[in-house]
Amino acid sequence: MAKFSGTVGFIDYVETSPGVHAEDVVERPYKGDILRNTQAWQDSEHLNDDFTINNRFSIVSDAYAYANYSRIRFIRWMDVSWKVSSVEIKRPRMILTVKGEYNG
């Protein structure tokens, strides 16, 4: 099983001025395992097909991750931010499933 060491991105919306909200990104380092590593080209309406992954990461979580798991939006792996599509809690770990590239 391959090992993972990277950051997980948590998103929160903060009010910058009355009625105006902006994303506040907090990236925290985590370690764990890569449970599944699959890649594919997906047909799209664009000129070039989209490259997608369907990976699962098992990270060793901390209190911050458990308190803010609903705010997890991306995981940075291989110098790319990947969009987290689901979070499964299996203490002391979290299983993060990623789909495509995060464009936030």
| Statement: residue 18 has pLDDT above 90 | yes
**How many domains, in total, are found in the chain?**
1
28-41 per-position pLDDT tens digit: 999 999 998 887 77
DSSP the chain: -EEEEEEEEEEEEEEEETTEEEEEEEEEEEEEEEEE--EEEE--SSSSPEEEE-EEEEEE--HHHHHTGGGEEEEEETTEEEEEEEEEEETTEEEEEEEEE---
The CATH number assigned to the domain holding 78 equals 2.40.10
Find the domain containing 39 and state its range. 2-15+24-101
80-97 per-position pLDDT tens digit: 999 999 999 999 999 999
